[in-house]
Amino acid sequence: MSKQHFHETEFDDATRLKLDIFRGYVREWIPVFLTKYQNKKNYKRICIFDLFSGHGTDGAKNFGSPLLIYEELKKYCKEHIELKSPNIQTDLFFNDSNTKHIKSLEKRLSQERCQNNCCNVHLFNRPFSELLEDDEIKQPLESGDTACLVIMDQFGVKEVDRTIFRFFAQCPVTDIMFFISSAHVKRFAGESSFNTRLPIDPVEIKKTDNKNIHRKLCESYKKIIPANTKYYLAPFSILKGKNIYGVIFGSGELLGLEKFLTVTWGIDKGTGEANYDIDNDPIRKNQGSKLLFGEMNTYKKCDAFAEELKETLISNSMDNLQLYSFCLGHGFLPKHVRECLNKWSEVGILDIVNIQTNVKLRKGSYYIGWDYFNKNDRKLMFRIKE
């Protein structure tokens, strides 16, 4: 479907899934910075940018990303007004290069306006390539006391190139989500226009099977994170027809990565990263029913993670903070680590030692979570007995 006619028809299932991911993360992100007791770094301002906003709805009047963002802010203010920090400025930046889209969005926003007037809406009608030259947009992104979330729902692949990605990765407090047509990257890999703009190895891309192309593309972006920059990425692959598209998420904090993975594991209970059978798991084909061989009743990604974690704990002790970082870096949540630790504890191969008392413990609370990581609160050491 052409870009011009996309917003005139009803969103398909793949587009609705993408919007569910956007909405889910916005819902997780807002309380972190707007709630009094959670905003521990005292950010003065939050900014949400939707830089390819469209006109706000599809042909059936279903909300697109800008109105979903606005709706989530209204919902938070209505349901949690007593928890909201009174001193944080909230700004929304919506851009589309199509003048008609922006005028339509302006009208829809006026119809949905929150009576509390707790956020400021800024509308732009610019080509994406010009936006980061505008101080009104660039200043909050580069400010250390402003928390930013940037959504880039581009058509195709060309806009979020090497330069744009590296810029956002170096912004002090900025999470990003961007949509990309991974199938198009594979199809046109090798063309100079793709190779110079995107961080891809054409040979590797061509060798990658279609199911894993979005994973591979996310790994390619990881390789161009600037040196000495802490930035975490995670993919979610979306099958639409025969083509693979997807969302790539980025954050400078493990808490952001955990929030995104919470959303995606809620969608895909098996791998947390696709709306299709990305790893050819027999259990999916059997619709969750028990299979004859035990190894066929699990997910390959989960088995591989458990095995790698076990081998790591055989070779080296890890504390609760390292386990938190390890699981998120592999695309898993703390609950998945706890399941592994419980299993190994029950069969007697896991040693758990209290760091302060040097006393061995049985299974219990493992203190694997953001609160402990953020406070650098090392409590336990873990090791698998050889």
Is 261 in the same domain as 320?
no
CATH number of the domain at 101, please: 3.40.50
pLDDT score, position 37:
74
- Considering only residues 204 and 17, tell me which one the structure prediction assigns the higher pLDDT: 17
pLDDT tens digits along 141-184: 999 999 999 999 987 678 899 999 999 999 999 999 999 998 88
145 in a structural domain: yes
Asked whether residue 245 falls in the same domain as residue 163, the answer is yes
Check: pTM over 0.85? Answer yes or no.
Answer: yes
Query: Do 85 and 189 reside in the same domain of the chain?
Result: yes
Is there a single domain that holds both residue 263 and residue 286?
no
Per-residue confidence at 337, pLDDT binned at 50, 70, 90? very high
Q: What is the mean pLDDT of the chain?
A: 90
pLDDT mean over 334-352: 95
Task: Please answer whether residues 350 and 359 qualify as being in contact, where contact means their C-beta atoms are separated by less than 8 angstroms.
Answer: no
DSSP 38: T
Confidence category of residue 365, pLDDT binned at 50, 70, 90: confident
Is residue 161 in some structural domain?
yes
Q: Are 235 and 153 found together in one domain? A: yes
DSSP state letter for 274: B
SS3 assignment, position 383: strand
pLDDT in tens, 202-217: 888 889 999 999 999 9
Q: Does some domain include residue 314? A: yes
pLDDT for residue 2: 43
**pLDDT at res. 59:** 87
How sure is the predictor about 198, in pLDDT bands with cuts at 50, 70 and 90? confident
**pLDDT band, very low/low/confident/very high, at 78 (cuts 50, 70, 90):** confident
Judge whether 272 lies within some domain.
no
Does residue 287 sit in the same domain as residue 258?
no
Distance CA 341, CA 307 (A): 12
What local confidence, expressed as pLDDT, does residue 293 receive? 44
What pLDDT was estimated at residue 1?
Answer: 45
% of the chain residues with pLDDT over 70: 93
Residue 274 lies in a domain: no
pLDDT in tens, 245-275: 999 999 999 999 999 999 999 999 999 999 9
Q: Indicate if 341 and 286 belong to the same structural domain.
A: yes
> 150: which residues sit within 8 A by CB, 6+ positions away?
48, 49, 51, 141, 168, 174, 175, 176, 177
Asked whether residue 358 carries a pLDDT value surpassing 70, the answer given is: yes
Banded model confidence at residue 292, pLDDT cuts 50, 70, 90: very low
**Of 210, 243, 267, which closes a domain?**
267
The count of structural domains within the chain is: 2
With tokens 């891309």, the residue in question is: 205
CB-based contacts of 70, cutoff 8 Å, min separation 6: 92, 109, 112, 114, 119, 121
pLDDT (mean) for 79-93? 88
Single out the residue of 148, 150, 26, 172 nearest to residue 88, CA to CA.
148
Residues 288 and 261 in one domain: no
Q: Does 256 share its domain with 302?
A: no
Q: What percent of the chain has pLDDT over 90?
A: 72
Answer yes or no: do 307 and 258 share one domain.
no
CATH number at residue 334: 1.10.10
Question: Is position 186 within any domain?
Answer: yes
pLDDT band at 23 (very low <50, low <70, confident <90, very high): very high
Confidence of residue 297 (pLDDT cuts 50, 70, 90): low
Q: Which of 240, 267, 294 is the last residue of a domain?
A: 267
Distance CA 165, CA 169 (A): 6
- Position 39 pLDDT exceeds 80: no
Q: How far apart are CA 68 and CA 56, in angstroms?
A: 9
Is residue 30, in this structure, part of any structural domain at all?
A: yes
Query: Which one has a higher pLDDT value, 268 or 2?
Result: 268
pLDDT at 86: 81
Mean pLDDT (whole number) for 235-245: 95
Residue 286's pLDDT band, with cuts at 50, 70 and 90, is low
* Structural domain containing residue 347: 282-384
Do 212 and 353 sit in the same domain of this protein? no
pLDDT at residue 192 in the model: 74
Give the pLDDT confidence score for residue 303 in this predicted structure.
95
Q: Is the pLDDT of residue 99 over 60?
A: yes
Write the burial class of residue 54 (CB in 10 Å: 0-12 exposed, 13-18 middle, 19+ buried). buried
Mean pLDDT lowest among 60-64, 106-110, 359-363: 359-363
Query: Average of pLDDT values for 62-91?
Result: 91
CA distances from 230 to 156, 261, 327 (A): 27, 18, 16
Structure confidence by residue, pLDDT tens digits, 303-333: 999 999 999 999 999 999 999 999 999 999 9
What pLDDT band is residue 291 in, cutting at 50, 70 and 90? very low
* CA triple 27-29-34, angle to 5 deg: 100
Q: What is the pLDDT of residues 127-141, one digit of tens each?
A: 999 999 999 999 999
Select from 267, 295, 328 the last residue of a domain: 267
Helices 99-112 & 65-79, crossing angle to 10 degrees?
20
Report which of 200, 287, 210, 283 is spatially closest to residue 244, judged by C-alpha positions.
210
Same domain, 372 and 224: no
Asked, for residue 243, whether it belongs to a domain, the answer is yes
